[in-house]
Chains A and B, each alone.
Chain A
């Protein structure tokens, strides 16, 4: 405090951090964010962790609580190896979409870095989580931690009761279907509250305890009429099972005839976790872009108000430029488009269009060019878009030229790629559409649905893969995944590849053809 008094305004100096400095920095940054950027955030919980703990968090998909599974152990080994070889640095922070928003800070960070991370995660990501419509609709930030706690405890109890191998078999199968375990178009129900879950579990336990095989032998009470109804339901499974169904985990959880109640609950846990992460995958560019834009803007503001000194600012800028580094496609370091770089560039571009538009911008973005209040436009974009729509809406010709984007057509049966569009007048719209398309998660993952079940016969489950542009499934992993579905369904499962345009069946693969 004495130092603060001598250097008014300076939040910290030197590279060592302590809790007092962290708290002061957070307060100053938060005040600035609310005042200057009008951010609206969850309360923040900052946790200081070591690198070992960061690796732990990495391997359990970034969640502070997770059930146990061998695949997390495998991922941990990979991460640890990459880290030790120096192939990859650890993230400086990890942020969890929960209320209060949990931010992990690494103990090795310098104070300048902690300030950067605070602005990036505790404000940028936090604002995005709280306001983006996908997160608001699809995830329940207040309930996720208690749900994971429940899941972990439930799975541990299952392991004790039914054995590791039995639990592992179900989890393996469910993990294989995580990609097909989300509702893409339907709004998912809220996570049930703790009390409801408890009630559900008690009911299941009661049913297990009071199970009496005799009830099964009772003749149907209402005579033949009811049976007819049921038969009719079975004859038209599309109606009774709500087919077609895109969420295979949901379908199996509700309709599988062989799963025990606890197995159903395991499938449900995996499905809910998959659903929780689905918005994050749809908003990578926006989420990282928002956080990067926020930290860059806030840090510069702090520097302008001389609340941080040159040394700290230089360190912050160095880290910032590392994060947004984007090599060109022919650079050996190229590994795809850096979402931090693209997001930040687009948001700064919106800022520029709003304040200093060119004639071209006025032509392309009549509603925001020269609007003046870039904060309002950005807040609106952060709240209402996902990557695909954001790029489709806001990628400007200026940026396409800056990035020198081009589109490469790739047909598997030809020996060469063909350049389809480049950054010129004819290409802008095509590049923008193609880039937006490539961020559309719903389109980019194989579209596989449950279409039919032979309820009256051998309970054969039919899945359909809609083949777009001739892209079929990788055979080895397809067979292995079908084997997992077969395990959850209990009866024959077949997957037909159907061309999306012509409707012609390309091939069909049944679990009978695959050796167990």
Chain B
């Protein structure tokens, strides 16, 4: 008789530790593939599983192996049809003298990184505080809600009413003797015993005792509350309903924005989107690009089509305002805006921007984040000084007035986070102050 062990219910993911060790080892290469995918993919897709090619560097397992292209060897093969000793067979060209046997090439291997692993890699050089990372990775807030009854559960969730109802029904169905019946018999025995002792009475008493015994055994066999009666309250985890949010991505696409600038801008947008997606049940993204005129475009056009022309920032703000009026009434939608630019603007237009933001947009927006993408060499020139491009100087005045306006100059991915610092603070719902 063999021993049987049912292992199917053992904890899953026994090899998770090995996977983590492997990912850590291949970290640099994986980070590069994730970065490439984010660069070419859609903003909303960052927050999902990604398929990546098997990393090669750092994950080789070397050992002493024969060089297949040296020396003399013999192959023993089955299935000879027409060869005779001495026949010469030309070697298949190109593939070396590897002989028979085809190995699956390792290049074809791609594997899936989970959402958490992708975000971990994405966050790596953004230098987010750990608390924020944790915040962004947690999916949704759930709240348990009553959802009927279940036959299994933890003792704290026993539903007494249901359980007793079941028990009652079962007791009736199985005809469990009631306490009153027993009491009645005992009573009768007591009366009979106190009375005179005739033969008939004794027989009657013996009969009653037998009946009593039978009933008691029956009571013992049919429990008052049986495990099958027990019902538990069932709870369903339901996501906490959240309002809707719309995110406006504004970007200057004039010639001065190159690959690097767009890459940084994209990370900036992705980060805001991750934040919104976590907060709100429904998020939409609107892409507005502008040169000297602004258009709403789709994501591909936004990042990849270039357009020539001058730079008038206020056109983008106008367009945003128009779209809000049309589709996203501020009393229904939480409006977030993220603007990326290299800071160029028509000198006279900056004043118009301030006025427009001050009068209209900032009242409607929950949060307006502006990043100015600068060259790494310029960081030390600008530093913390307040001079800078005309747009920067103009926006500085808006920042002073509106607490929900944030701006920053960024040259590397690590500079992005400070723009959102207020957003990710512990109480992140920005109070709308009346101006």
Bound: A465/B99 CA distance, A: 23
Contacts of A326 on B, CB cut-off 8 Å? Answer: 78
Closest 8 pairs (CB-CB, A-B): A328-B79, A471-B71, A73-B22, A73-B18, A480-B62, A470-B71, A329-B77, A70-B21
| Residue from the list B2, B73, B86 in contact with A44, Cβ < 8 A | B2
Q: Which B residues contact A (CB, under 8 angstroms)?
A: 1-8, 10, 12, 14-15, 17-25, 54, 59-81, 83-91, 97, 99-102, 104, 109-111
Residues of A in contact with B, size category: 35 or more
| Residue from the list B22, B64, B78 in contact with A478, Cβ < 8 A | B64
Least CB distance, B189 to chain A, in whole angstroms = 47
| Residue from the list B17, B67, B72 in contact with A469, Cβ < 8 A | B72
Given A19-B4, A76-B15, does the pair A473, B72 have CB atoms closer than 8 Å?
Answer: no
Q: Is A116 an interface residue (CB 8 A)?
A: no
Q: Is A330 an interface residue (CB 8 A)?
A: yes
| Residue from the list B4, B7, B79, B100 in contact with A53, Cβ < 8 A | B7
Contacts of A87 on B, CB cut-off 8 Å? Answer: 104
- In the complex, the chain B residue whose C-beta lies closest to that of A100 is B3
Q: Is A48 an interface residue (CB 8 A)?
A: yes
| A70-113 interface bits toward B, Cβ cutoff 8 Å, 1 = contact, 0 = none | 11111011101110000100000000000010001001000000
Contacts of B65 on A, CB cut-off 8 Å? Answer: 446, 473-474, 477-478
| Residue from the list B66, B83, B91 in contact with A474, Cβ < 8 A | B66
Contact across chains for B80 and A46 when beta carbons are under 8 A apart: no
Bound: A176/B60 CA distance, A: 10
Q: Is A378 an interface residue (CB 8 A)?
A: no
Contact across chains for A415 and B91 when beta carbons are under 8 A apart: yes
Can you pick out 27 interface pairs between chain A and chain B where the beta carbons lie within 8 Å of each other?
Answer: A27-B1, A45-B4, A47-B6, A48-B6, A50-B8, A55-B15, A60-B15, A69-B18, A69-B21, A71-B22, A77-B19, A100-B3, A107-B8, A168-B25, A404-B81, A405-B76, A410-B97, A412-B69, A412-B97, A419-B87, A420-B74, A422-B85, A434-B74, A438-B74, A469-B72, A477-B62, A480-B62
Least CB distance, B52 to chain A, in whole angstroms = 10
Question: A76-B18, A474-B65 provided; 4 other pairs, C-beta below 8 A?
Answer: A68-B18, A77-B109, A180-B64, A426-B85
Least CB distance, A504 to chain B, in whole angstroms = 15
- In the complex, the chain A residue whose C-beta lies closest to that of B88 is A416
Least CB distance, A168 to chain B, in whole angstroms = 7
Contact across chains for A407 and B76 when beta carbons are under 8 A apart: yes
Q: Which of B2, B24, B72, B81 has the most CB of A within 10 A?
A: B2
Contacts of A431 on B, CB cut-off 8 Å? Answer: 76
| A414-425 interface bits toward B, Cβ cutoff 8 Å, 1 = contact, 0 = none | 011111111100
| A422-437 interface bits toward B, Cβ cutoff 8 Å, 1 = contact, 0 = none | 1100110001001101
Contact across chains for B71 and A412 when beta carbons are under 8 A apart: yes
Contact across chains for B15 and A404 when beta carbons are under 8 A apart: no
Contact across chains for A48 and B15 when beta carbons are under 8 A apart: no
Contacts of B12 on A, CB cut-off 8 Å? Answer: 52-53
Contact across chains for A419 and B21 when beta carbons are under 8 A apart: no
| Residue from the list B4, B6, B22, B72 in contact with A77, Cβ < 8 A | B22
Q: Is A122 an interface residue (CB 8 A)?
A: yes
